[in-house]
Amino acid sequence: MTTQYVGSELALFAAATNWKGYFAHVLTPFIGTRVLEVGSGLGANICYLHGPSVHDWTSLEPDETFAQHIAHRIAAGDLPPTCRVVAGTVASIKSTDHFDTLLYIDVLEHIADDAGELAAAARPLAPGGHLVVLAPAHQFLFSPFDAAIGHFRRYNAATLVALAPPGCQLRVCLMLDCAGLLASLANRLLLRAEMPSPRQIFFWDRVLVPISRVLDTITGRRFGKTVVAVWQRTA
């Protein structure tokens, strides 16, 4: 991941409160006491994933402007006092630092060497800890929007699972947001927009995400526009 990257979509998707609440509900069982969120952006995920069990939350952000924004939010009391921010990449993490949970929320697709990234990320993961990746699904949905915001790829279950880092065992792989999958397909085939409008985000978040929460359960979370993989450190 470069130290400067396209981030114009972050503020837009920060308003997707139903979506963030939904994936937080799915990921909460894997959140431990010491958390490292890689590529925290504006810190929009913290309030959804930082629960009572979290004693230390490190936001790792390569963009210095975004890192400063998170630092200001912590200082202002807008984020929990257990949070801290580090400007850098996983290479910036001290060898003495260990975490129970590592989070990649819509980040891995921005990194050219995704396999190398996860292998490096597993090093500070404590035994029994979880490495959690949430990423956009299906390469056939790759659109001008993906290219515009710096995505190298999209994933499916097989391609994401294949990135298993050494010493880690797959715990969960599932798909989310099957209703959003149809909307993404329409954008790919019909609209081909480089950036969704706030109105489109509002409709997806307020109308489609609640529908997905029901349908995803019915379909066993086998279909969707987002793929989630969770590995556990075993050695």
Domain-wise residue ranges, the chain: 9-233
- Pick from 148, 173, 177: which is nearest to 163 by CA? 173
233 forms beta bridges with: 168
DSSP class of 205:
I
Q: 227 CB contacts (<8 Å, ≥6 apart)?
A: 134, 135, 136, 137, 155, 156, 157, 160, 173, 174, 175, 176
Q: Which is more confidently placed, 194 or 81?
A: 81
Average pLDDT over the chain, rounded to whole? 92
Q: What is the DSSP letter of 2?
A: -
38 neighbors 107 (Cβ within 8 angstroms): yes
Q: Residue 218 and residue 80: Cα distance in Å, rounded?
A: 35
Q: What share of the chain is helix, strand, coil (3-state, %, to 5)?
A: 40, 25, 35
Closest by CA to 124, choosing from 89, 101, 97, is 97
Q: Which helix (H) or strand (E) holds 180?
A: helix 178-186
Q: What pLDDT, on the 0 to 100 scale, is given for residue 1?
A: 47
Residue scoring higher pLDDT (84 or 188): 84
pLDDT of res. 103: 98
User: Between 51 and 190, where is the model more confident?
Assistant: 51
Architecture in CATH of 9-233: 3-Layer(aba) Sandwich (3.40)
- pLDDT tens digit sequence for 142-184: 887 888 889 999 999 999 999 999 999 999 999 999 999 988 8
Report the pLDDT averaged over residues 82-106: 95
Judge whether residue 224 has pLDDT over 60.
Answer: yes
